[in-house]
Structure formats: structure tokens, C-alpha cells
Amino acid sequence: MKANDLIKGRLYRYTANRTDIPVVYLYETINGYIFSAGGVKKELSTNMVKSYIEEYEG
């Protein structure tokens, strides 16, 4: 997914390491993008967004 296509508050899928975790996009920082999963915030780089973030269909 292109980082520019992320929409604040939308649910996405994080698919790294053969997992499929629902994450919510929160906001952009200087170094990456902040997502929330189960109440825990995690920063992902542009490359990680491109490789591991997909649209959530459910």
C-alpha cells in the first residue's frame, strides 16, 4: 500500500511474519506512521507500510 493512501482512523491489516493483525492508522510522524493494535501504538516505516499494510476487508 502507498503511505499517501492511508486514511486516519481507518482499519487496515498488518501482514508481516505470516500474521494478519487488524490495525488502525492514527497519524504520520517525521520517521514513519503510527498505528494502533489492541490499544498499543506501533510506528512503521514507509517501507513497512508498503510491504505489510493492506486494505481491511471484513
- Asked if residue 58 has pLDDT above 70, the reply is no
Give the span between the Cα atoms of 5 and 21, in whole angstroms.
19
- pTM of the model as a whole: 0.91
At residue 57 the predicted structure's pLDDT band, cuts being 50, 70 and 90, is confident
pLDDT tens digits along 6-34: 999 999 999 998 878 999 999 999 999 99
- Asked if residue 49 has pLDDT above 80, the reply is yes
C-alpha cell, 17: 511474519
Where exactly are the structural domains of the chain? 3-55
CB atoms within 10 A of CB 49: 21
